C-alpha cells in the first residue's frame, strides 16, 4: 500500500453482469492500479486477474437471503483506507449506480472529503435479456424500459396500473424470491395474465438458466425449473423476441 500520499481515492467500479469479458477497459485499468479491492460476492472471481499481485483483496459479500457485510462497515472501511493514502476500488456487479448502493457510498465519501470516481459497468438489466435475444426497447412495442427492485427498503409496491398504462418493459432485479407476490400484484394492477414474461438466473455466465413464459404461469415454471437468485424478471411484449420462444402470439392463442 502506498503510504506516501496524505489522502487516497476511492473508485466505484462496475464489474458488469457476470461474464468477465464484459468488463470495460477502464475498469480493468483502474483495478490494475488499486492498493485495495473491496469485492462483492456476485463479481466473477476471474475479473480479479486484473488486480496486481501486491494489492489487497477484501471480500465484502452482499447477497439477498445470505449473511452479508453491513453496508455501514463497508463505507467506514473505504473512508479509513483512503485516509491512509490507499487507492481503493469498490468492485460491484453490474453498474454501481443501478441498485448497487453506489449513490449512498458516493455521498458518504463526499461528506468525508474523500475523492471518488465512478466507472460505469454494463448493467444486467440490459445485458442479461440480450443473451436470449430480448431487446428491452423496441420501436414497435416498447418505447421505454423501467428498472425495478423486487425488494424495496420500505416494502412498498410500485404503481403497477401506471406502469401498465405506460406500456414499458419491466426489468425487475432481485425479484426471484418474491415472484409470486409480484405477479399477483401486477395482475391486480391491470396486467393481463398472458403478458409475456421470463426469468433469467446467472445471466451471461455458463450456468445461465432461463424460463420464458407468461405472467400468470411464471411463478410455477420458475419453481419447476428450480431457478433462484441471482436472477431477474423481464416482463413485456419484447419477451416475444426471446430465442427460447415459448409464448404463442395472442392471435394464435385466440
- How many degrees, rounded to 5, is the angle at CA 92 between CA 62 and CA 145? 100
* Cα 14 to Cα 91: distance, rounded to the nearest angstrom: 6
Q: Which of 78, 174, 176, 186 is catalytic?
A: 174
Q: Cα separation of 214 and 43, whole Å? A: 30
Residue 48, Ramachandran bin (φ over 0: left; ψ between -120 and 50: alpha; else beta): alpha
Active site annotation includes 194: no
Output phi, psi for 35, to 5 deg.
-90, -35
Of residues 19, 62, 78, 95, which has the active-site annotation? 62
* DSSP state, residue 131: T
Maximum pairwise Cα distance, the chain: 72
H or E element, residue 173: strand 169-173
Is residue 131 within 8 A of residue 49, CB to CB? The reply is no
User: Does 140 qualify as catalytic in the annotation?
Assistant: no
Instruction: Establish whether 111 is a catalytic residue.
Output: no
| From 19, 35, 40, 95, the catalytic residue | 40
Residues 172, 196: Cα–Cα separation, whole Å: 14
CA distance 224 to 231: 15
Count the alpha carbons within 13 Å of 207 in the hemisphere toward its beta carbon: 10
- Pairing outcome for strands 145-149 and 115-119: unpaired
Positions annotated as catalytic residues are 40, 62, 174
Amino acid at each position: 500500500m502506498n503510504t506516501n500520499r496524505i489522502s487516497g481515492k476511492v473508485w466505484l467500479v462496475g464489474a458488469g453482469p457476470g461474464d468477465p469479458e464484459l468488463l470495460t477497459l477502464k475498469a480493468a485499468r483502474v483495478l490494475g492500479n488499486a492498493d485495495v479491492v473491496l469485492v462483492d460476492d456476485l463479481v466473477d472471481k476471474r475479473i480479479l486477474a486484473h488486480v496486481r499481485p501486491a494489492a489487497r483483496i477484501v471480500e465484502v459479500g452482499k447477497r439477498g437471503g445470505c449473511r452479508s457485510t453491513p453496508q455501514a462497515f463497508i463505507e467506514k472501511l473505504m473512508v479509513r483506507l483512503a485516509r491512509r493514502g490507499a487507492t481503493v476500488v469498490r468492485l460491484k456487479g453490474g453498474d454501481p449506480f443501478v441498485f448497487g448502493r453506489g449513490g449512498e457510498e458516493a455521498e458518504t465519501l463526499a461528506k468525508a472529503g474523500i475523492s471518488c470516481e465512478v466507472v460505469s459497468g454494463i448493467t444486467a438489466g440490459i445485458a442479461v435479456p440480450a443473451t436470449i435475444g430480448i431487446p428491452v426497447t423496441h420501436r414497435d412495442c416498447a418505447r421505454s424500459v423501467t428498472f425495478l427492485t423486487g425488494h424495496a427498503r420500505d416494502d412498498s409496491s410500485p404503481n403497477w396500473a401506471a406502469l401498465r398504462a405506460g406500456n414499458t418493459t419491466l426489468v425487475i432485479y432481485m425479484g426471484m424470491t418474491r415472484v409470486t407476490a409480484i405477479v399477483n400484484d401486477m395482475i391486480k394492477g391491470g396486467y393481463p395474465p398472458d403478458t409475456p414474461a421470463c426469468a433469467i438466473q446467472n445471466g451471461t455466465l455458463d450456468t445461465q438458466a432461463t424460463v420464458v413464459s407468461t405472467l400468470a404461469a411464471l411463478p410455477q415454471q420458475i419453481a419447476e425449473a428450480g431457478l433462484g437468485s441471482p436472477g431477474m424478471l423481464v416482463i413485456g411484449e419484447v419477451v416475444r423476441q426471446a430465442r427460447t420462444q415459448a409464448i404463442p402470439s395472442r392471435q394464435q392463442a385466440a
